[in-house]
Amino acid sequence: MADLPIQSFSVSLVILREVAGEAEVLLLQRSATLMGEWCQVTGTIEAEETAWQAALREMREETGLSPLRLYSADICEQFYEPHRDAITLVPVFVAFVDYDVEIVLNPEHSGYKWVSLDWAEDMVAFGGQRRVLRHVKQEFVVRDANEALRIQLPS
């Protein structure tokens, strides 16, 4: 019997804003890998970085944004990658930003949209993304974010 490795080397970040009392999520359209697909901010954890530091760096690199508040989403995306023959676990974070922020995309993305969490579920490609969006809606929009999950940002 062979063991199937479990790996964790990347992060996922859901960016939220509030407009007229309604929550919106930022989705980015991929321009290379998974070209044309809509996704949240994602990226690899670099050496000497914590997962939440990687989420902040990827947020800046992919959108030009910095969060007002950052939370552990208390959930991981998980999926099987056939080319690695491994299960990947990806910690998820949630960032809140001002409603009028300016998005500056990097070359990994060709476009962006602010949409409702319900609409976002229809736009993303994978079931794991939809499960994460439903969780974020329930735990960070319907309910107030649990402050025990808040990550203190460096000043």
pLDDT digits (tens, 9 = 90+) for 45-90: 999 999 999 999 999 999 999 999 999 999 999 988 888 888 889 9
Residue 155 lies in a domain: no
Residue 15 lies in a domain: yes
Query: Containing H/E element for 46?
Result: none
32 burial via Cβ count (<10 Å: 0-12, 13-18, 19+)? exposed
Side chain identity, residue 134 = R
The enclosing domain of 113 has a CATH number of: 3.90.79.10
Q: What is the pTM of this model?
A: 0.93
Range of the domain at 114: 6-148
- The total of structural domains in the chain comes to 1
Residue 32 lies in a domain: yes
At 39, list the tokens: 């996704």
Q: What is the DSSP letter of 124?
A: B
Residue 56 lies in a domain: yes
Residue whose token pair is 């964790």: 8
Residue 31 lies in a domain: yes
Residue 22 lies in a domain: yes
- Are 93 and 52 a contacting pair, CB within 8 Å? yes
Residue 1 lies in a domain: no
At 65, list the tokens: 């944004």
Reported as a single tens digit per residue, the pLDDT across 79-132 is 888 888 888 899 999 999 999 999 999 988 899 999 999 999 999 999 999 999
Residue 99 lies in a domain: yes
